[in-house]
Each structure stands twice: as structure tokens, then as C-alpha cells.
Amino acid sequence: MSALILDGKALSLESEADLTQRVAAIKEQNNGQAPILATILVGADPASATYVKMKQNACKRIGMESIAVEMPSTTSTRELLAKIDELNINPNCHGILLQHPVPSQIDERACFDQIDIAKDVDGVTCHGFGRMAMDEEAYGSATPQGIMRILEAYDIDLIGKHAVVVGRSPILGKPMSLMLLNGHATVTICHSRTQNLPDLIKQADVIVGAVGRPEFIQAEWIKDGAVVIDAGYHPGGVGDIELGPLVDRVAAYTPVPGGVGPMTINTLIQQSVIAAEKSL
């Protein structure tokens, strides 16, 4: 059996074509005013700087603009909260991305939660999380929302399926689990204190790897015919799941790179366009 490749890159390009038209329509109806995403980068972490650049480039490709806010690594919580307040009331800013992680002296949760719910296009606030969990309208956390869009685009049936999510971070594992639950899967959430991880993973019809450790989830733990979603990306082009031996025996998988990553960025810009459509 040759597995279906869940091609996030191709889906993101299709979506960008649609978003480009929507941005053009927004500009036409608003005297040339483009949707604007504010990106906040605190500190000098090179990986974070690269992610922010990729998000700004994605904005450019669809005709959106971005406000690039860069703050030093010595920034305090109070200073970051003040910057977020400023963007919250700026009518020319339609969405706010605070790049995770921020330096350790900053209360990241407080800063995420300061983002106006109408501008929370990366889906990081407790308010947005709660609404999403209750299946109310909300901007989903970008990575898990991007994964849900991949599953939907490829007609992956979740109803009654056993989904196992490895990882419970606020921006990935936790919202992922709730989204799959809302999609009527039966969900098991695993984390660093979980016992018998391989046995739990062996039961998965859908497995999501969101651990942050290269190829931590071994191919032999995954059953034939499973749907494999790998959110990880590490140097050397590997994810959190050992994908190599799986490609001939699972039903479908997200490649690394080219699976979850492009749809994370695409979801951020899609939600920014929606926020601009609502506000303009």
C-alpha cells in the first residue's frame, strides 16, 4: 500500500491564490487599504526571526502588509503589554502575531491574553481557546487549525476514530486535542508523564506528533493503515515521528517538510484576512 501524501505545501498554494483575490477585493472596497498583520518579535532567537520573516513574506505574497515590531531581549512584561495595547487600538492593524517563545522574564500567557480577541489571528488567547473548545466561532491556534484544514481537504474521516495526540502544549497539543474531539474523534492526550506510550500509540487510527524531539515516536509503535500527522520540524529535515519506514504501510501522512509547516503559516494569514474582512 502506498500512503496518501497530505501535501500541505500544495494546499497552502491553492489557498494563497484564493486569499490573493480576497485581499484585492478588500483593497478595492477600502480605498486601497490592505489588511495588516502586526508581527512582534522579542529578542534575537534566530529560529524565531526566521519564522517571523516567513510569515511576513506570506503576507506579501497575497498582497497584505505587515507591521514589524522588534523588541530587545531585555523587554519586560509591562513593556510588551503596552506594545500590544497600542496595536489593539490601532485601526490599521487587523491581526497580531506574538512570536512564541518570548524571553523567560516575560509572562507569555499574560501577553498572549492581552491580544484583543478580534485580532487574535494566531489563536493564542485563553478566550479564543475557550470559544474553540466550546465549538463557538473563534480563530483556532494556527498549527492545529492548519492540521484540521489538511484533514478536511483530504476527506480524512474522524468520526468515531481514535486519535492519539502526543504533546499538550497550549499552542499545539491541547488545542489539537479539542479540535479533534469537536470533529467527533475519541481522543487520547499523551505527555511527558504518560505511561505505556507505545501501547497507546498502537491504538491510534490518527496519530499527531507534537513532542519537539526528533523522530521520538517510533515507526513500529504505529499501526498499519493509520493517518500520521507530524507537527515537528528539526535540523536534517526530520519531524517528531520516524516517517521513513511508514510510507508504505500507513493510510496517509504529512511529509516533513511540506506538510504541517506551510499550513500553519497559511492559517495565520487566512485568519488575518478574515479579521480584516470583518473590520473593514
Q: DSSP state, 2?
A: P
Q: How far is the CB of 257 from ligand NAP (least distance, A)?
A: 9
Measured N-to-C along each axis, helices 8-29 and 260-279 cross at an angle, to the nearest 10 degrees, of 20
Q: Which stretch binds ligand NAP (CB under 6 A): 86-94, 154-162, 229-237, 247-255?
A: 229-237
Q: Which three cell numbers stand for residue 192?
A: 511527558
178 binds ligand NAP (CB under 6 A): no
- How many CB atoms within 10 Å of residue 210? 28
Q: Which is nearer to ligand NAP, 35 or 261 (CB)?
A: 261
Q: Which residues of 256-275 are buried (b: 16+ CB within 10 A; e: fewer)?
A: bebbbbbbbbbbbbbbbbbb
Q: DSSP state, 34?
A: P
Could you give the CA distance from residue 55 to residue 96 in angstroms, rounded to a whole number?
12
Q: How far is the CB of 232 from ligand NAP (least distance, A)?
A: 3
Report, as residue numbers or ranges, the catalytic residues. 55, 99, 122
Determine phi and psi for 37, rounding to 5 degrees. Answer: -105, 125
Q: How far is the CB of 265 from ligand NAP (least distance, A)?
A: 7
Q: Are 49 and 19 in contact (CB under 8 A)?
A: no
Dihedral of the CA atoms 180, 232, 121, 150 (nearest 10)? -50
Q: DSSP state, 246?
A: G
62 binds ligand NAP (CB under 6 A): no
Determine phi and psi for 65, rounding to 5 degrees. Answer: -115, 165
DSSP-assigned states of every residue in 48-71: HHHHHHHHHHHHHHTT-EEEEEEE
Q: Which stretch binds ligand NAP (CB under 6 A): 64-72, 111-119, 155-163, 189-197?
A: 189-197
Q: Is 141 annotated as a binding residue?
A: no
Q: Which stretch binds ligand NAP (CB under 6 A): 21-29, 75-83, 86-94, 259-267?
A: 259-267
Q: Which is nearer to ligand NAP, 11 or 210 (CB)?
A: 210
Determine phi and psi for 205, rounding to 5 degrees. Answer: -80, -35
Q: Which stretch binds ligand NAP (CB under 6 A): 65-73, 75-83, 133-141, 257-265?
A: 257-265
Selected from 20, 88, 186, 194, the binder of ligand NAP by CB under 6 A is 194
Find the angle CA(189)-CA(194)-CA(198) to the nearest 5 degrees: 85
190 binds ligand NAP (CB under 6 A): yes
Q: Which is nearer to ligand NAP, 54 or 110 (CB)?
A: 54
Q: Which of residues 135-174 bind ligand NAP (CB under 6 A)?
A: 143, 166-169, 171-173
Q: Which is nearer to ligand NAP, 34 or 271 (CB)?
A: 271
Extract the annotated binding site for NADP(+). 167-169
Contact positions toward ligand NAP, by CB under 6 A? Answer: 143, 166-169, 171-173, 190-194, 197, 210-212, 231-233, 240, 260-261, 264
